[in-house]
Chains A and B, each alone.
Chain A
Amino acid sequence: MATLTWHGSSYPTQVLVLTGRSLRALLRTPALVFFSVLQPLIMLTLFSQIFSSITSTANFPPGMTYINYLLPAILVNTAMQSSLASGIGLVQDMSNGVLARFRSLPIRPSTVLLARNLSDAVRTAFQLVLMIAFGVLVFGFRPDGGMVGTLAALGLALVVGWALSWVFIAIAAWVRKAELMQTVGFLAMFPLMFASSAFVPVGGLPGWLQAIAKVNPLTYAVDAARSLALAHPVTGVVGALATSGAIAAVGAFFAVRGFRRPLSL
């Protein structure tokens, strides 16, 4: 009889094991994966058809296909939606009971959050790759940036989503209500998405929407992703990355503080 006892693992091991756990849980619920891909796919399909006539309007960059214009925005938007799902995932973890178990173990609470964040980044990357594949295979996405530019856009979208995921994880750690987060998150994102350069050029929006679009951070993220994919002069990529980094740092700080509070509140 071995009477080995274990008194705790290293920080990286904790993060790795917990990330693996989230991914494994994801794999065991294929329905969830399916729907997380279905939603952006529907958006890609609908928007690419509905808005394609925009290409003939005055403000649209001449000679560009709508799918080339749209897909980078879909990437950013998918990553953004996914970050909301990350926060909701944390709330669900908290009601799953397994978090109560983690709390009684000699592990650092922040590893749970970091694992949530990392595993959701992996899931998001998977979603984004699928979107690109559909874009290329089904909708004729042929960006001038080629493979490299497209991957760079994917990377940027991923970073933006990763940063926002910290914001939603922080909100989840304080609010702890999935429905509320879902509703408020949707209400916040939906107008942000349209009052931006995501689906139509800002120049084509009515004046008051233009004003919003010009201060909407999403516009900058989308423009940056677009400039990478379409091999335009790269605009705002450094800004987008720096802003993401700052947002992530603030989000992570508040997330850890909020998460430290007892589970039974």
Chain B
Amino acid sequence: MSELMIEATDVSKKFGDVHALDGVSVTAKRGSVLGLLGHNGAGKTTLINILTTMLPPSGGSAKIAGFDVVRQGHEVRSRIGLTGQFAAVDEQLSGHDNLVLIARLLGASRNQAHQRADDLLEQFDLTEAAKRNAKTYSGGMRRRLDLAASLVGRPEVLFLDEPTTGLDPASRLAMWEIVEKLAADGTTVLLTTQYLDEADRLADTITVLSKGKVVASGTSAELKAQVGQRTVTVTLDSASDVDIAMKAVNAVGLHPVVEGLTLTTPVSASRDLATVVRALDDNGLEAHEIGLKEPTLDDVYLTLAAN
């Protein structure tokens, strides 16, 4: 089972002057989960749009289940499910009618469509709300209905664009479990996320996107090894201290990333810890907390996606 279900080669996309994607290549084997990790604006949605035939690429090529996304759009669309960043449900219809509609469009008979809708509503815990207008659904319910809608045709490849952004912790966990179950059942999944724990937990392989380019890819273990760096984190007491510390640490040749009151910088040797401490000390700063950490996926993300 090493068949490639997602195969993007050197895909690029320009919007006017904006290079939303610049030579991106990703692959996913049948039944695997590919995590696409990146900040806002990294190009995640654009890549999904190209892979799902919503947008033509400006360059490169991509195949889904062996079908070319440009030339064989119809073939691709009959094998995929897409849950976009914004719920693509008909707010004027009930949850049940939404699912029946899709099943009918996919070629199910009336009976089959109703059966499938009922099954999915049950599976996604929406049976009670089945007859209500989707307009009245909460964010989590709408997201579940949207996901159910993309599963009506039992897609071979499922695309999930930031499936848990904006969800409460319980709904988030529920979404994770759904994805895990789908993957276990053999669905190939591409999911984008801004959250590391999500990619770490769900994805077999992770591709880190930054400004339209792949900055790292591999299993989470490989990514950590690829970075192969330890990091020093310094937490300070105030924002003004952060500014001073930033300058001081820059002056000794390190380039930390700031998150709140915490500076994180990859270091190549443990004596760099001493260098950092000395730099702070020289500027009369006292760190609230300081430490040397072994690489985690967080650091991969911070170091790679930030520059």
Contacts and interface: CB of A to CB of B under 8 A. Distances in A.
B213 to A, nearest CB: 21
A21 interface: yes
B77 A97 contact: no
Interface stretch (B4-12, B101-109, B216-224, B253-261): B101-109
Nearest to A3: B154
A7 B106 contact: yes
A258 to B, nearest CB: 16
A53 interface: no
Contacts of A97: 86-91
B203 to A, nearest CB: 22
Interface string B140-158: 0000000001100110000
A130 to B, nearest CB: 22
Interface stretch (B48-56, B228-236, B282-290, B298-306): B48-56
A5 B186 CA distance: 14
Interface in B96-122: 97-98, 101-108, 112
A17 interface: yes
Contact of A105 (B90, B106, B154): B106
A264 B98 CA distance: 22
A6 B106 contact: yes
B34 interface: no
Contact of A101 (B55, B75, B102): B102
B154 A24 contact: no
Contact of B149 (A13, A21, A101): A101
A49 to B, nearest CB: 36
A18 B90 contact: no
Contact of A7 (B54, B78, B104, B133): B78
A25 interface: yes
A101 B78 contact: no
A20 to B, nearest CB: 8
Residue among A3, A7, A21, A106 with max Cβ neighbours from chain B (10 Å): A106
A74 B99 CA distance: 40
Interface in B17-58: 49, 52-55
A99 B54 CA distance: 11
Given A29-B92, A96-B90, A98-B89, A17 B105 contact: yes
Contacts of A101: 82, 88-90, 102, 149
Residue among A9, A100, A104 with max Cβ neighbours from chain B (10 Å): A104
Contacts of A103: 54
B107 A7 contact: yes
Contact of A25 (B81, B92, B103, B104): B92
Contact of A100 (B75, B84, B103, B133): B84
B129 interface: no
Interface residues on A, range: 20 to 34
A98 B102 CA distance: 10
Contacts of B105: 8-9, 13-14, 17-18, 102, 105, 107
A28 B150 contact: no
B14 interface: no
Interface string A92-134: 0000111111111111000000000000000000000000000
B74 interface: yes
B90 A104 contact: no
B242 interface: no
A98 B104 contact: no
A262 interface: yes
B142 to A, nearest CB: 9
A101 B90 CA distance: 9
A55 B104 CA distance: 55
B55 to A, nearest CB: 5
Nearest to A262: B55
A24 B90 CA distance: 11
Given A104-B54, A104-B77, A106-B74, A25 B93 contact: yes
A18 to B, nearest CB: 7
Interface in A24-53: 24-25, 28-29
Closest 7 CB pairs of A and B: A101-B88, A106-B78, A25-B92, A6-B106, A98-B90, A6-B107, A7-B78
Given A18-B105, A104-B82, 11 more contacts: A7-B106, A7-B153, A8-B106, A8-B107, A10-B107, A13-B107, A14-B105, A29-B92, A100-B86, A101-B89, A106-B78
30 contacts: A4-B112, A5-B154, A6-B103, A7-B78, A7-B79, A9-B107, A13-B104, A13-B105, A13-B107, A17-B104, A18-B105, A21-B97, A24-B93, A25-B90, A25-B92, A97-B87, A97-B88, A97-B90, A97-B91, A98-B89, A99-B88, A100-B84, A100-B88, A101-B89, A104-B80, A106-B74, A107-B105, A262-B49, A262-B55, A264-B49
